[in-house]
A = this chain, B = another copy of it.
Amino acid sequence: MNSDSSQRILIVDDDLAIRRFLRTSLVAQGYTVSETNSGEGALLDVINKRPDLVILDIGLPDMDGIEVTRSVRQWTKIPIIILSVLDQEKEKIAALDAGADDYLTKPFSIGELTARMRVAFRHATLPVNMPNFESGALEVDLARRIVTVRGKEISLTPTEYELLRILIQDAGKVLTHQQIIRTLWGDIYQPEMHHLLRVNISNLRKKIEPDASRPKYIFTEPGIGYRLKLVDK
């Protein structure tokens, strides 16, 4: 948190008028506000200013708000509320699945925005910024997307990496097949997805486990799902 304990909000929007309007309204509500007008700026400010919540316009000059969301989500769970002029279903779903916590269509009322911000703060757990993950000989640099086993860097396919990231995000806990499938592939849930998940688990194990038939990291919970075990050094 901040020294004056007020919550810091980062506003990302290329429209000056909207930034002004939001800043005024939020400052009046007692929030501390900083602003930027580009995707690049957003990524930098999330790192440097460590805001407690991001309000992100989806249409930015340099990069898509969804891209920004995905990028930020690689290493932090900081609440992100997306703003958009479009009420398009596809965009909404894409934004939410990329890791956004809420999606508001302009015009919206400040009352609703702040209510949804309060929901987001309620959800926010203690800062779970984990730039790197370690368990035994396995190390994952989530910010740089680098995985090493016993110091040796290994390369994972996009799906394998995403799967590992999902397991890391809830390390120690059992994730059901359904949960993993939904996070990995979204809405297209179908029974044959289970098979696909198994193949990917198998491939991932081959790359990170010393002995794939006797897993040290990725444990199977028969009938339920998988669990990434936390091992002390």
A residues bordering B, Cβ < 8 Å? 1, 3, 5-7, 29-30, 77, 89, 92-93, 96-97, 100-102, 109, 111-112, 114-116, 118-119, 121-123, 125-128, 143-146, 155, 157-158, 170, 172-174, 176-179, 182-183, 186-187, 189-190, 221-225
Contact = CB atoms under 8 A, between A and B. Distances in A.
Contact of A157 (B100, B101, B222): B222
B121 A179 contact: yes
A112 B94 CA distance: 10
Contacts of A186: 118
Given A125-B126, A174-B144, A93 B77 contact: no
Stoichiometry, copies per complex: 2
Contacts of A121: 179, 182
Contact of A112 (B93, B146, B189): B93
